[in-house]
A = this chain, B = another copy of it.
Amino acid sequence: MNVFEAVRTRRSIRKYLEKPVERDKLLRVLEAARLAPSAVNRQPWDFIVVTDPEVKRKLGAAYPRDWFVNAPVIIVACANPAKAWTRKDGEEYWKVDVAIAMQNLVLAAWEEGLGTCWIGAFDEQEVKKVLGIPREIRVVAMTPIGYPAEEKGPVVDRKPLEEIVHYEHW
Chain A residues close to B by CB (< 8 Å): 1-4, 6-8, 10, 12, 27-28, 30-32, 34-37, 39, 41, 43, 45-52, 55, 78, 85, 87-89, 91, 93, 95-100, 102-104, 107-108, 110-111, 118, 120-121, 123-124, 130-134, 137, 140-141, 155, 157-161, 164-170
Contacts and interface: CB of A to CB of B under 8 A. Distances in A.
Q: What's the number of copies of this chain in the assembled complex?
A: 2
State the majority secondary structure of interface residues on A.
mixed
A28 B161 CA distance: 10
A2 B108 CA distance: 9
Q: In this complex, which of A4, A41, A45 has the most chain B Cβ atoms within 10 angstroms of its Cβ?
A: A4
A134 B170 contact: yes
Contacts of A78: 170
7 contacts: A2-B2, A30-B161, A35-B158, A47-B166, A99-B99, A100-B102, A100-B103
A102 B30 CA distance: 20
A30 B167 CA distance: 12
Q: In this complex, which of A34, A97, A124, A165 has the most chain B Cβ atoms within 10 angstroms of its Cβ?
A: A165
A51 B2 CA distance: 27
A118 B96 CA distance: 10
